[in-house]
Structure 1
């Protein structure tokens, strides 16, 4: 792996605008990055499939998936005073939304800087300051003073996508990544590097990569990609929420600098126990840090893939502190561990092993 090249890729993906349904910038970056590693195709939903160069067509098929979209917002209405009412796309906690800088796409495709409104404390009562904010009471302000100015000058329409306005930063001394949309641009970058690491290598399986759209609104893209690929086995690369700053020590299952998380269970999937055990044992044998998690919430593309003929599926997640907020952290060492693990898994698989799962 070329670390500097990987960092540049992660930066480009993190900075890209790509709320669910509007992933074009992300798919363009991804498709260009993988064009030398196989046959690349994209559908009208913005799903991208890469059939790895060297696939034979007569070996078991392993789908390696990541999703391209990020959580964000959409303009629902334009108020007479020129502010924009909006809805959330994907899961948000309302308390993290006010006073954040965002970008609103206009009809020319330009992203306009804006801010999510908040009431100055000067105009709040003591009781107001104790209340949790509600999304329905918030607006987006692009600096206009009328609805006509929004529509005619700013060229913003109802249905416009909105993303957090955050620039990627690499904290070299700590080898930390900071930025937006690491759920799941960090998995997207790892998918690219996986294809890079395996390029030219002989495998006993055929690998097909999928960059699936609209995961944050119900795993919609993965429901399409799995039917096109028809995998015998699948690995889902994710950017799950880290828990090491929010739970008791004994409950930490997705801690930063502890390696990738392999999820046993969430509300959408129970992973194949045999495949899960195999991956964890392989990590131990290769000296790769890894951790496992049992979740009461959450979901991922693995659910849609697993439901296709019961395809054995595992989820390999790179811990993301403060996922589904504008500002996130990822430790680069966790990224490397995830990359090493997924490539070792793919190099070790053959028909006999897969049949045992």
Structure 2
């Protein structure tokens, strides 16, 4: 995988509802394809010259990242904020952010944290925080200075983090790997399949969805537009190897691509996951199967499209998602791309029919 591409995707400014910069970053790597966007900031990439009669497989990843929005401007110059996405409140204070004004200027700020010198004993020991009591400080001393800086209510902000690739360890450091890692996987997968498009049993459409972090809203639109028969969802999944024992962890960094069997939003299609597992074994692709007690992906929306869509969720284990800073491994990114491309290459009409459950009643109907 091109680390410069992942860098540009990761660094792009794109909290939920403000994904334009990510669209532009992705589009630079999608020049071989027909691309378009819609009014919600969803981005579509299609291979030209493919047989329109073939079933459609949608490659999904979401563009947006967790961020914040200016909710109000206080008299003392601090900004009240709301969250765009699911941060845990204890992970927010004492980090820097970048605010984008309506004119497009980027302004740095610090998320406030009360110095220990001023805390009561109860405050020092408490983990109870309220987003209404967490502010952003841009160095202003009153609301007039904030307004002179061009900041308005409703301006978006993101974590202030720059991408790095640590080549010796094969590890990426940055922000928004949930889910710029998935966006990079769509691009790489389409590139791997481009020269093979005429022998594929499916049409491949990349769909980069907006607003996943606030309720999988973009995928509800993309799936209506693409109308897929099958889908592969790429996700920057939470790595759990620091929190569970080796025998229990299911999202180990450098453990291979994650094949998700269940989360709060969907139950996987057993035939599709079995096909993926067999394909991974056939080609020696490292993988780890995952049953999630929590969390969700765009599969929850895509799987409910039309008469139901079989969805395969492939995760890139990423440490500390929904915080400022993430790690992920290059080898896991490449395993996700390799498995997705091999699955698509291995699909034939019989496999598609089986995955779509079109053969369940065959024996019953034959006996009539």
| TM-score clears 0.5 | yes
Contact 1:50 1:210 in 2 (8 A): yes
Aligned-partner SS, 2:71: strand
Contact 1:176 1:331 in 2 (8 A): yes
Aligned-partner SS, 2:319: coil
CA distance in structure 2 between the partners assigned to 1:127 and 1:77 by the alignment: 28
| Structure 2 residue 58 is matched with structure 1 residue 63 | yes
Q: Name the counterpart of 1:48.
A: 43
Q: Name the counterpart of 1:181.
A: 176
| Structure 2 residue 311 is matched with structure 1 residue 313 | yes
Give per-residue Cα distances to partners, 1:163-198, cap 9 Å, x unaligned.
000011111110100000000000101111111111
Question: What is the TM-score of this pair, normalised by structure 2?
Answer: 0.94
| Structure 2 residue 342 is matched with structure 1 residue 338 | no
Correspondence 1:116-155 to 2 at 5 A: 116-132=111-127, 133-151=129-147, 153-155=148-150
CA distance in structure 2 between the partners assigned to 1:54 and 1:259 by the alignment: 33
Structure 1 unaligned segments of length 5 or more: list them. Answer: none
CA distance in structure 2 between the partners assigned to 1:79 and 1:323 by the alignment: 30
Structure 2 unaligned segments of length 5 or more: list them. Answer: 356-368
Superposed structure 1 runs of 4+ greater than 6 Å apart = none
Question: What is the TM-score of this pair, normalised by structure 1?
Answer: 0.97
Q: Name the counterpart of 2:21.
A: 25
Could you tell me how far 1:266 is from its partner in structure 2? 0.6
Q: Name the counterpart of 1:94.
A: 89
CA distance in structure 2 between the partners assigned to 1:352 and 1:41 by the alignment: 32
Contact 1:256 1:320 in 2 (8 A): yes
- Structure (1 or 2) with the larger CA radius of gyration: 2
Give per-residue Cα distances to partners, 1:268-288, cap 9 Å, x unaligned.
000101101110111011100
Q: Name the counterpart of 1:227.
A: 224
| Structure 2 residue 4 is matched with structure 1 residue 8 | yes
Contact 1:260 1:291 in 2 (8 A): yes
Q: How many residues are paired up?
A: 351
**Aligned-residue CA RMSD (Å):** 1.0
Q: Name the counterpart of 1:157.
A: 152
CA distance in structure 1 between the partners assigned to 2:34 and 2:229 by the alignment: 20
Give per-residue Cα distances to partners, 1:224-271, cap 9 Å, x unaligned.
111111111000011010000012332201111111111111110001
Aligned-partner SS, 2:289: strand
